[in-house]
A and B are shown apart, each in its own frame.
Chain A
Amino acid sequence: MAAPTRKAAIVGGNRIPFARSNGAYARASNQDMLTATLDGLVARFGLQGQQVGEVVAGAVLKHARDFNLTRESVLGSRLSAATPAYDVQQACGTGLEAAVLVANKIALGQIESGIAGGTDTTSDAPVAVNEDLRRVLMELNRAKTVQQRLKALAGLRPGQLAPEIPRNAEPRTGLAMGDHAAITAREWEIGREEQDELTVRSHQALAAAYDRGFFDDLVTPFLGLSRDANLRPDTSVEKLAKLKPVFGQGEGATMTAGNSTPLTDGASAVLLASDEWAAERDLPVLAHLVDAQTAAVDYVHGGEGLLMAPAYAVPVLLERNGLTLQDFDFYEVHEAFASTVLATLKAWESPAFCKEKLGLDAPLGSIDRSKLNVNGSSLAAGHPFAATGGRIVATLAKLLHEAGPGKRGLISICAAGGQGVVAILES
């Protein structure tokens, strides 16, 4: 028999404002950003010198020197140096997966508290040497005699000096994520205007949330930035309509730099704990992490869209928890691209998709759009890959807390590699 478990509480969160690539954080490293984010969390909850059960975080774009990124960040932070830490990486799902891992250990009683987070920089991204050059250098390293060394060096060619800059592309298809999303958008007939409308709503909602002070206890300014640099409160459907498509080809292309998330730098962290740990320290419990699910799709050969995995994960999660898609007060669907959100919602509404792909008798149905991403999401805030999960968990937990006890929220995050992470929070 399984040991009885408890639900992990979400105490609060912290993130730094998200910056556009090569903007305010151009010279900040993943570790700088994660350390500052942890320190902001420490200051908010008075955790100086305290040991938390575990800190779990990660980055999608990592330098070789970042091999122990989270532990190094903890050592540089005001947390007790006796706080263990480990790295995780599940592409854009990293932050949410980290929260699930921490919550699970709390649920099992293995830890009483933990911090889940993520950080990513596209400005200070690792630049690898050309693969040919790398082979030559490794050979040189292995060489023992002068002769062997000269022989190894003879393999050098000028072309090998071109660096390999990481691209936001799928290794197995060579397609950019946006190009993948564009295929899905075309399949699901997602129009340009509805994408632009969703984008405008995201910017307006995020700006309004800032204006009413919603982020006062969720964000700590960093390097002179106090709001997300990507936020355009005054954007409009008219303005967005002027942008040229950047993903997809020809007449039917609908995805622009406006309705897609830009490359972004930033970090986030969430403090989770048992109810007892929080109560002992007079810390709030905003919500509990109820359950989570991951799914993956075969976007290479299986004919499914790269970012459609959450559409598969959610019904499994609903089924296990005896819920319908309509049983939620808030939905946080990560806006990798406006079209991704719309395609996912459309899939859940489609009797054919729900029957053939999900094996359901009836479609999951539609959701009340006024409950979707009510404080804005990645289109407005930006999307530093591993940091998005923490942003969403803390935002939703606070929203649920404000709405009162017994409210429920659904998180859905798509990730590279055809994966998805979804979760339920409850106040």
Chain B
Amino acid sequence: MSDWYRDFANSGVGTTITKQLGLPRPAVLRRHEPGQPLLPGPAVVGSAGEGRLRDELTRLLRDAGVTVVSPATVDGGTDGDRLAAVLLDATGLTGPADLAAAHDFLAPAVKRLAPSGRVLVLADPPADAASPAQAAARQALDGLVRSLAKELRGGATANLVQVPLGAEASLAGPVRFFLSGRAAYVDGQVLTVTAADVPAGEDRERPLTGKVAVVTGAARGIGAAIAKVLSRDGAHVVAVDVPAAGEQLAQVANEIGGTAVALDITGADAGTRLAQQLIARHGGVDVVVHNAGITRDKLLVNMDAARWNSVMAVNLQAQLDITQALLDTEGALKPGARVISVSSQSGIAGNRGQTNYAASKAGIIGMVRAWAPEFARRGATINAVAPGFIVTEMTAKMPLGTREVGSRLNSLQQGGLPVDVAETIAFLAQPGSAGVNGQVVRVCGQSVLGA
């Protein structure tokens, strides 16, 4: 799906026109391609207070082949050496006064940020603070990062990762994700990691090698993109969709060397059927992506029971039932399994005409958070991804005006692509994401809705 406005705005004549009219110029985002370096340029790592992560971050960047420059050389540097990433270790904050150091470090560095650059702030969770002053300082970063994300241009993003004491080993995967092109459309987000057994030595190019992943609603749209990205990352994908979508489903499965399973996820025995097939044919499953979803929009007062019930059945109840069936069936979920549910911005912000849809998508968030402790005990994780405005066949059918406005209401001034959602899901599916559990990651370009 092409973004004609973005392409126009970046064309020769388009640049002139949009500049004269003061129109936004949405950037062409840096997206992940196999074999790409983590960052296209140098990074700088700074700190506010006596942080504990700075050395670790520097080592991680150097391991990935990134040149790490000193904060001292940043100020007054020439435009020729733009920074691909700015990392701030804020784990040393003791109170609001330390925030001045954050500002001192960030201001000159951000000024030198390259297009599609990354600002990543790492801090402790406010809830773990030793004093109200420390909690205030930690929470303050939230406002700082979200505002900075709105100020950045040229496809650059700013995100915050919260690292409790003892969870340092969980950090590398998320840091690499946020810096990479995989996180192109993830902006203004806060992710909290937890301590977990993170397996060492994963294949960075194909982190899902040898894994079996099931994706529901895989015949088209975001689900097809998820199937392709998981397969690119090494997984064997079991692609599920309703029997009527079988022709497209077979094409998706054949394109990626996967397996097509025609199944209505709302069927009474869908969970057990899927579990049996996963055990018999694939020896269980490592990654479960609940992506299938439908909309049946109407204002609440005009909504009939059929619209309400069908949306609830597909979007929420089926996810609960299938996850439960997989948990209950011995051998269905392999050790270290990952469950990833596709929620929606509507479930966070609400949307006129979508009481049923938003309820189902908010319900998913409740489900994921409630299940997280049990999954953690099994060495597994469960997370949700909430896409914002994603350009698919579904949105292509929206009226031009609604679509154009909808797609620009975010800090990146453009709609996301199905691959952006897929990359975030693939990140959560990686062995290296063992310490990401019970989280809701928005893939929305920092949408103004529900922010």
Residues of A participating in the B interface, judged by any CB pair closer than 8 Å: 36, 39-40, 42-46, 48-49, 78, 213, 215-217, 219-223, 226, 282-284
Given contacts A226-B246, A282-B282, A283-B281, contact A213 B259 (CB under 8 A): no
Contacts of B261 in A (CB 8 A): 44, 217
Q: How far is the CB of A223 from chain B (nearest CB, A)?
A: 8
Task: Please give me the 4 A-B residue pairs with the lowest Cβ-Cβ distance, nearest first.
Answer: A43-B250, A43-B260, A43-B253, A220-B246
B263 interfacial by beta-carbon distance below 8 Å: yes
Q: In residues 232-258 of chain B, which contact A (Cβ within 8 Å)?
A: 236, 243-247, 249-251, 253-254, 257-258
Instruction: Give the docked Cα–Cα distance between A222 and B247 (Å).
Output: 6
Residues on A with C-beta less than 8 A from B253 are: 43, 46
Do residues A215 and B257 form an inter-chain contact, with CB atoms below 8 A? no
Interface residues on B, range: 20 to 34
Interface membership of B262, Cβ < 8 A: yes
Asked if A213 and B254 sit within 8 Å, CB to CB, the answer is no
Task: Answer yes or no: B283 CB below 8 A from chain A CBs.
Answer: yes
State whether B259 touches A215 (Cβ < 8 A): no
- Which residue from B245, B257, B262, B263 sits with its C-beta under 8 Å from A48? B257
Are B267 and A213 touching (Cβ within 8 A)? Answer: yes
- Distance in angstroms between the alpha carbons of A359 and B236 in the assembled complex: 58
Residues of the B chain whose Cβ atoms lie less than 8 Å from the Cβ of A36: 247
- Report whether A39 and B250 are in contact in the complex, using a CB–CB cutoff of 8 Å: yes
A-B contact pairs, 30 of them (CB 8 A): A40-B246, A40-B250, A40-B260, A43-B250, A43-B259, A43-B260, A44-B261, A46-B253, A46-B258, A46-B259, A48-B257, A49-B257, A78-B254, A215-B243, A219-B243, A220-B246, A220-B247, A220-B260, A221-B243, A221-B244, A221-B245, A221-B246, A221-B247, A223-B247, A226-B243, A226-B246, A282-B281, A282-B283, A284-B280, A284-B281
B264 on the A face (CB < 8 A): yes
- Of the residues B257, B262, B282, contact of A217 by C-beta under 8 Å: B262
Q: Across the interface, do B264 and A39 meet the contact criterion of CB distance under 8 Å?
A: no
CB distance from B181 to the nearest CB of A (A): 28
Which residues in chain B, 310-350, are within 8 Å of chain A measured between CB atoms?
none
Residues of B within 8 A of A (CB): 236, 243-247, 249-251, 253-254, 257-264, 267, 280-283
Contact B264 A44 (CB under 8 A): no
When the two chains form the complex, which single residue of A46, A78, A216 contacts B262, counting CB atoms closer than 8 Å?
A: A216
Contact in complex: B254, A282 (CB < 8 Å): no
**In the complex, what residue of chain B is closest to A225 when comparing beta carbons?**
B247
A220 in contact with B267 given A46-B257, A215-B243 (CB within 8 Å): no
B342 to chain A, nearest CB (A): 23
- List of A residues within 8 angstroms of B246 by Cβ: 40, 219-221, 226
Which residues on B sit within 8 Å (CB–CB) of A48? 254, 257
- In the complex, what distance in Å separates the CA atom of A329 from the CA atom of B247? 33
Q: Assuming A226-B246, A282-B280, A282-B282, is B254 touching A39 (CB within 8 A)?
A: yes
Given contacts A220-B246, A221-B244, A222-B247, contact A213 B264 (CB under 8 A): yes
Which residue of A has the minimal Cβ distance to B249?
A: A43
Complex CA distance for A48 and B239, rounded to whole angstroms = 14
Task: Find chain A residues with CB under 8 A from B280 CB.
Answer: 282, 284
Complex contacts, B257 vs chain A, CB 8 Å: 46, 48-49
Q: A40-B250, A43-B258, A46-B253 are in contact. List 20 more A-B contacts (CB 8 A).
A: A39-B250, A39-B254, A40-B246, A40-B247, A42-B250, A43-B259, A44-B250, A45-B259, A46-B236, A48-B254, A49-B257, A216-B243, A217-B261, A219-B246, A221-B244, A221-B247, A226-B246, A282-B280, A282-B282, A284-B280
Please name all residues of chain B whose beta carbon is closer than 8 Å to the beta carbon of A223 when the two chains form the complex. 247
Q: Please give, as numbers and ranges, the residues of chain B lying within 8 Å of A78 by CB-CB distance.
A: 254
A43 to B238, CA, bound (A): 10
Contact present for B263 and A216 (CB under 8 Å) = yes
Residues of B within 8 A of A221 (CB): 243-247
A284's nearest neighbour on chain B, judged by CB, is B280
A44 to B, closest residue via Cβ? B260
Q: Which of chain B's residues have a CB closer than 8 A to the CB of A283? A: 281
Closest to B283 in A: A282
Name the one of A213, A222, A284 contacting B243, with C-beta atoms under 8 angstroms: A213
Name the distance in Å between B239's Cβ and chain A's nearest Cβ.
8
- Give the most central of B257, B258, B262: most A CB within 10 Å: B262
Measured CA separation A220–B261 after assembly (Å) = 10
Q: How far is the CA of A40 from the CA of B260 in the complex (A)?
A: 8
Min C-beta distance of B339 to chain A, whole Å: 23
Whole-angstrom CA separation of A46 from B254 in the bound complex:
8
Q: Looking across the interface, which residue of chain A has its beta carbon closest to that of B257?
A: A48
Residues of B within 8 A of A220 (CB): 246-247, 250, 260, 262
| Shortest CB distance A34–B (Å) | 14
Q: Tell me, rounded to whole Å, the shortest Cβ–Cβ distance linking B293 to chain A.
A: 20
Contact B247 A44 (CB under 8 A): no
B265 CB to nearest chain A CB (Å): 12
Q: Provide the bound-state CA to CA distance between A42 and B260, in Å.
A: 9
Residues of A within 8 A of B245 (CB): 221
Q: Which residue, of A42, A46, A223, has the highest number of chain B Cβ atoms within 10 A?
A: A46
Is A42 in contact with B254, judged by CB distance below 8 angstroms? yes
A3 to B168, CA, bound (A): 66
Contact present for A43 and B254 (CB under 8 Å): yes
